[in-house]
Amino acid sequence: MLSKLAVFLYVVLQSAEPVRVLVTGAAGQIAYSLLFGIAKGDVFGKDQPITLILLDITPMLPVLDGVVMELQDCALPLLREVIPTDKEEVAFKDLDAAILVGSMPRREGMERKDLLKANVAIFKSQGAALEKYAKKTVKVLVVGNPANTNCLIAAKSAPSIPKENFSCLTRLDHNRARSQVAMRCGVPATQVKNVIIWGNHSSTQYPDVHHCKVNMAGSDLACFDAVKDDDWLKGAFISTVQQRGAAVIAARKLSSAMSAAKAICDHMRDIWSGTPEGEFVSMGVYSSSNSYGVAEDLIYSFPVHIKDKQWKIVDGLAINDFSRGKMDATAAELVEERDTAVTFLSA
């Protein structure tokens, strides 16, 4: 009886303890949509209090103050504290989750190599700050581009945090693929499951529907049987998903922000609470065991199941020649980018 009471009290007190969540690039446009989603409980649960830590660069501190005011003005029940800062030692302290959105953007005339070098410097420093200040159980999600390689650099710079605790965002691409199929079939996106994004978050990514199921009129159909247009699935569908980011920029004159924020919430929520039985999602994760013949020591987007805050690559999916070529091409791009990035890491 007494011990049951103790367990009950322990659970109540535990859940009253806020999770400490960092968002970097917090004065930017993705963060503007993202922070509200997190603060209202979409990610860590409807009963979980939150302390939000907002990191941006020094010139953005005045903007960050405006973001803090708006968060306060939302009068949200779960938001216990908001801490704006430009200092890594404040930002990374005792973190439960870190969402790294800020990165160096491409400027007019900037060489690709120089851009990569600037990002390696940022993610090396933030990785070292995770190592030094965050909890060892911290879950790190990298969004800032080049997301896969930035994530790898952060993980390498935080050797005492398990590499499995680092992931990068390809959920936006995953959601785009899911929605394209759903619209084609005239069903809600929730009736489409198990699309896969393989590889880099770039136009070489491979949106794969060979294992995707569409629920129509009460039964699960293979995607190819539901869509009944193989040419579209092997052609325009793939290029639409690959080019979607560019299409949004062309139309909006700004990059995807609302949909990116939604995808970040989906990704971190699934890490926290798991994926439904029989379903998988796409995440950029550390490739360590040659799964699906992908080179080791990359952050590569795979299909994963998540349970008890652990992800596992879904294994045993059949890969045909069409898929193989596309999976290898996006891996080759990441190998090349990694090999350049690590030369900057040791510099």
Ligand X SMILES: *[C@@H]1O[C@H](CO)[C@@H](O)[C@H](O)[C@H]1NC(C)=O
Ligand Y SMILES: NC(=O)c1ccc[n+]([C@@H]2O[C@H](COP(=O)([O-])OP(=O)(O)OC[C@H]3O[C@@H](n4cnc5c(N)ncnc54)[C@H](O)[C@@H]3O)[C@@H](O)[C@H]2O)c1
Q: How far apart are CA 47 and CA 12, in angstroms?
A: 11
282 interacts with ligand Y by CB under 6 A:
no
Percent of the chain that is helix, strand, coil (3-state, to 5): 50, 20, 30
102 interacts with ligand Y by CB under 6 A:
yes
Segment lying near ligand X (by CB under 6 A), choices 65-73, 93-101, 131-139, 223-231: 131-139
Angle between helices 321-346 and 112-133 (to 10 degrees): 70
* Residue of 191, 202, 240, 255 interacting with ligand X (CB under 6 A): 202
Residues 313, 318, 320: CA angle, nearest 5 degrees: 125
Segment lying near ligand X (by CB under 6 A), choices 12-20, 199-207, 224-232, 312-320: 199-207
Q: How far apart are CA 100 and CA 142, in angstroms?
A: 5
Nearest distance in Å: CB 128, ligand X = 18
103 binds, among ligand X, ligand Y, none (CB under 5 to 8 A by kind): ligand Y
Q: How far apart are CA 175 and CA 270, in angstroms?
A: 14
Full DSSP string of 108-122: TT--HHHHHHHHHHH
H runs (alpha helix) in the chain: 2-16, 29-39, 61-73, 88-91, 112-133, 147-156, 171-185, 223-227, 230-234, 236-242, 244-252, 258-273, 321-346
Looking at the chain, the number of H-run helices and the number of E-run strands are 13, 14
310 interacts with ligand X by CB under 6 A:
yes
Sketch the per residue contact string, 138 through 177, with ligand X: x for CB under 6 A, - otherwise: -x-----xxxx-------------x-xx------------
Q: Which is nearer to ligand Y, 30 or 161 (CB)?
A: 30
333 binds, among ligand X, ligand Y, none (CB under 5 to 8 A by kind): ligand X
267 interacts with ligand X by CB under 6 A:
no
Q: Which is nearer to ligand Y, 213 or 244 (CB)?
A: 244
* Residue of 51, 103, 180, 301 interacting with ligand Y (CB under 6 A): 103
Q: How far apart are CA 149 and CA 154, in angstroms?
A: 9
Active site residues: 201
* Residue of 20, 21, 24, 151 interacting with ligand Y (CB under 6 A): 24
Determine the residue type at 300. Y
15 interacts with ligand X by CB under 6 A:
no
Q: Which of 142, 57, 180, 137 is nearest to 308 (CA)?
A: 137
Give the total of residues touching ligand Y (CB under 6 A).
28
Q: Which residues bind ligand Y (CB under 6 A)?
A: 24-25, 27-31, 55-57, 60, 101-105, 122, 143-145, 147, 169, 172, 201, 255-257, 260
Binding residues (CB under 6 A) for ligand X: these are 136-137, 139, 145-148, 162, 164-165, 200-202, 271, 309-311, 333, 336-337
